[in-house]
Structure 1
Amino acid sequence: MLWNKNDKYLETPFQKEAELEEAVNEVKEALFGTSRIYLDDKKKIGKIGGTNNLPDGYLIDLTNSQDPKIFVVENDLASHQHLKHIAVQILEFSLSFETSKVKVKNVVKGMLQKRPDQWKKCEEFAKRNGFENVDFLLESIIHKPNSFNALLIIDELGEELETVLISKFKFPVEVITLKKHQNKQGESLYQFEPFLNDVVEDTEKIDISEIDTIVVAAREDGFNNVFLKEHCWYAIRLNASMIPKIKYLATYQVAPISAITYIAEIKSIEQWQDTNKYILYFSKPAEKIKKVVLGKNKGKAPQSPRYSSKNRILNAHSLDNVF
């Protein structure tokens, strides 16, 4: 229940997938932000005689000036689909995408051409960032290596499904949960975390294209026994699409030290046991750095993994300069 003194809103499950799709369209600006473009036309992709699929939409992500991305979107109701079906659907999307990139580009281009405002947004992005035109921008996004990214929007995400999405695919799969609540008058409130919200919070002072480091909080026993002795850090939640960017791990030692003290180069990032978390292995022992202490803003102390850059950390006077 969502409640205030004036009213109460009870959770109202989506009965049909179409209701979820309508909700996504209603909240898309708040859900995706102004630097992403959601295209919800359903157009079949795939090679003639091969795997063909009908994605629910595409999300063009223009937040990173150096590395714009595209996500193939699948909307599903947890109550209607077995997790095996969802996993197979996403796998088939990847196969269709990889075997028909020219078709995907033409499909996306056609959707944009029907939306003058969104076409203009792509045009302006292309002009600012050295892409000749929108056609070349789409070519660069879709035809580069490892260009397939998936986005699953679902009303409820169980730990089992999240673990499957981590363990079964070599490409990034991001997940958003979207719930609806209604009052007696039928007015709706939607509950969700904006897309890559934790990344957005960490890019107030740093451009997303500069991110190459994950900062974790470490207590004394874990710091000494795992970070320094085992040369790794585990049970970390990460955004799948951010993993290729992470080259370093920095440790923030909690009170009484209250500072970032070491940084390690990452050798590999793998699933942690049979969970929905990751383990990060170091390529060599971590290096001690000049302390980056907690600044005036005590809220900057990491409670969960935070994104930053090695260069910013090494040149920072306090955490106020890091995040």
Structure 2
Amino acid sequence: MLGEEYTQEKLDYFEKIISKRYEKNIPPGLKDRNKKKKRKFATLEFETSFGDAMFWLDIIEFVKEKKFSNVVIISDDKKSDWCTRSGTSESELLPELKVEFLKETGIPVIRKSSSLFIKDILSLSEDEQKGIEKEIDEIEKIKSEIEYQDTIIVRARKNGFKKVFIGENSWYSVRINEDRIPFLRYIAVYQTTPVKKITHYAEIKDIIISPEDSSKKKILFGCVKNFV
């Protein structure tokens, strides 16, 4: 979300527009339209298949009210309902999306990958650029959480690890298969770059509905221990 906080009425409005767009095969979001599942945030509810299209319409609506000369979308999404040359790091937005954006806002839009955007705004050495690209690849390859026997492994950046995992003895918005919950006893954390390994674990005390996303869980656990 870019502008004002969503209301259910606004989400319902978006869904009506997006349903008509999908009927006419208008991107983005076409790759997700077969997903038939509701997603909840507190009291709000919407179809998961509408996520990309809602993001796109929200950008257009937000930009209409601003005085920008150009708009850059920073994204590593390479699906063919967003980009040309699907699968390459520097794919461009589909021509029809560029045209729609220009017609609706009067402002041109381009897409850049995370690594290229960081390179453009910072003076980076070749090694630094490669390091950033490796970290982005790492994030894409490692899932947010992995269930392994009686343990769930979550991924954390430095700040989240210290503030939440260590500071609160909990972890938010975790995807867990319901049938696995009775068998989970431990949570372990994989710290991303520069650590890049599983460093700590704890015994799970409870698994509850996440206050941030009712389709996910919040894990509460006891004393955190180091892996030796």
The answer, yes or no, to whether TM exceeds 0.5 is no
- TM-score tier by shorter-chain length is 0.3 to 0.5
Could you tell me the TM-score, scaled by structure 1's length? 0.27
Q: TM-score, normalised by structure 2?
A: 0.38
Larger Rg over CA atoms: 1
